Amino acid sequence: MIIQNIESKIRLATVLSLGSLITSIIICGFVSVYAYKQVANARQSIYILDNDIPILAKQANMQMNRPAEYKAAVDLFHSLFFQPDSRR
């Protein structure tokens, strides 16, 4: 009788500890997925300061921004190296 009682208590403790472990792993998985989705959504928006007022701007696809970035780089190069020389 005492041995059966001890065996049932050990079985109950084992089941409870495994149940707690599996539940905590499932909760950690859900929290990780939720946090990853929030970070991915936060990366899609940026804030621009306009006279110390933050304005939310949506970030576009990088391939769509490439031509504008290239044009800005070429314009900057031309303004730096091909300015009219005022010393002449």
Tell me, yes or no, whether 69 lies in a domain.
Answer: no
Tell me, yes or no, whether 78 lies in a domain.
Answer: no
Tell me, yes or no, whether 19 lies in a domain.
Answer: yes
* Separation in Å, CA 10 to CA 1, 14, 27, 57: 14, 6, 26, 59
Tell me, yes or no, whether 9 lies in a domain.
Answer: yes
Tell me, yes or no, whether 76 lies in a domain.
Answer: no
Task: Show the domain range for 25.
Answer: 2-43
Tell me, yes or no, whether 38 lies in a domain.
Answer: yes
Per-residue model confidence as pLDDT tens digits over 51-83: 666 666 665 556 666 777 788 888 888 888 887
Contact 88, 74 (CB under 8 A): no
Contact 54, 48 (CB under 8 A): yes
Tell me, yes or no, whether 63 lies in a domain.
Answer: no
Above 50 in pLDDT, residue 45? yes
pTM as predicted: 0.52
d(CA 7, CA 15) in angstroms, rounded, equals: 12
Name the domain count of the chain.
1
Tell me, yes or no, whether 11 lies in a domain.
Answer: yes
